[in-house]
Amino acid sequence: MLRPVQALLGVAALAGCSPPDAGAGRWLTQPTNEQHTSLFFPISTGSTHAMGAPAVHVAGAIDCNSCHGTSDTFQGFDCLTCHTPAPTIPNHVQKNVGGFSYDSPSCYGCHPDGIGKGAVDHTLKFPIAPGQVHATGALAVHVAGTIQCTSCHANIADRAKVDCTICHNAADQSAKHAGLIGPEPNNGAPLWSGTGSLPTGETANCLLCHSNGALQRVATHGQSPTLPGGFLIARGGHFQSCEQCHTSRTTDPARRNPQIDFAALPRPCTSCHLEPTTSANHLGTSWPGYPGSYSYNDAACSSCHPNGDIGPFDHSKNFPTTASDVHNSSVAGCTDCHTNRTTPTDIATINCIGCHNNGAAAVDPGGVNSQHTTPAAGATMIGFGYTFDSSTSAASVATNGLCLKCHAGTIATPSWTNLLKLPLTRHSSLCFAVTSGNHRVNQTTGGTPACFTCHNTMNTITKPWGVNWTQVQCTACHTNRPAPTCR
């Protein structure tokens, strides 16, 4: 349909004989290039489709008929007159543009700004690049086929509307979020309750937690270089919906929908763990043994519970700290031994020599060295399996390791009651002589201290840093000699 200027002028003259219709006035008036750019499509000077500019794909200059010439209304438009199958189709197929369709509505749906060079920059909106869970062209998990643009953008004419529930249906997601995704605070709408697209509906709730496409937030929750195990929310008392702790919201202009601001500080521990219940749990009869380190504040909470494990802690598998033990929490608080609060199980961060040293404030009368020499030990152990060295950080770690190697709380015979101390004089009377003679401890065999030649087995299931003193073998030196039985 060609539209000569004379026909338009004639229509305008006839229109002057009738009362103006406010709602129909715009179609009678040809918009300026700038008006067309702001209201419909960019055709102003400098744009790719500027009026009067040379057409790229066909001969001649761009005019109204270039887009509207195949329709009897300006509401219709045709991109394919200029953008012919070649090279348009190969350009999209080779770039793996998911959901591509060679028709004008699809063209406008992806290129409403008229920019056709390069792929659509989707990085700021949602990750769809190769290797991502939602990569276009990748095999879809929840439905048959591959992920395409239309997998999320069901309405190709309005790309701003996204629907996650096309693939993530209600039954599947309700099962996956059961017990974890709970109601919003103050009786708000649930985070997951069915189907629906943006800007409202359940897709908005999907993006509240998964705006960057992450599906493993629960498994990797809170992981960092200082807390590689993360903060436990997949089980236990912190098995709650995200917004219970992460109350801050943020809106990325590129993503449009609000999302939980996981970078902001979560609610403090004491906002949920209230008094007097919390202190009663730590100091009362239900969880006894914490008075040496407990206090009701957020810093104290995170220092003992960096990974969110609410306890009570079974420390018997690691070291004796019950109320009847010499290292009970009234004497040695958690942080007296665990110098790095975020890695309490790292043996290299446990500090025995903070208390057991040779300084004036040492807990051992005369210093810890005196406990490893005659008469306290019954023999001189210095240099034969025991050496105290705190001159460097590495030396201190090694010395702490030697402490736990012998004193991990694994010494046990029918007659020995102190699981932490090596009673060498009693060893001589109840088993055989180790303070004198051929089996004396202050000697080495092939460079190995005599103790560790006979007791050469470490613990396995519990206290793996300690020697298993219940295991002994004589065949390292004596052929076919059975191990003695201690009383």
Mean per-residue pLDDT of the chain? 77
Task: State residue 20's pLDDT score.
Answer: 41
Among the ranges given (71-75, 115-119, 291-295), the one the predictor scored with the smallest mean pLDDT: 115-119
Most confident of 83-97, 168-182, 450-464: 450-464
Among the ranges given (34-38, 247-251, 388-392), the one the predictor scored with the smallest mean pLDDT: 247-251
How many CB atoms sit inside 10 A of residue 470's CB?
13
Task: State residue 239's pLDDT score.
Answer: 66
pLDDT tens digits, residue range 419-446? 888 778 888 888 889 998 889 999 998 8
Taking alpha carbons only, the member of 431, 426, 429, 454 closest to residue 441 is 454
d(CA 212, CA 124): 9
| The amino acid at 336 | D
Mean pLDDT confidence for 231-247: 74
Can you give the pTM of this predicted structure? 0.48
Beta strands in 217-367 (DSSP E): 249-251, 258-260
pLDDT tens digits, residue range 152-167? 887 766 666 778 888 8
Task: State residue 26's pLDDT score.
Answer: 52
Provide the pLDDT confidence category of residue 143 given band limits of 50, 70 and 90.
confident
Mean pLDDT confidence for 299-310: 81
Task: State residue 325's pLDDT score.
Answer: 83
Mean pLDDT confidence for 42-54: 90
Among the ranges given (172-176, 182-186, 272-276, 332-336), the one the predictor scored with the smallest mean pLDDT: 182-186
DSSP string, 371-413: GGSTTTSSS--BTTTB----SSHHHHHHHHHHHHHH-SS----
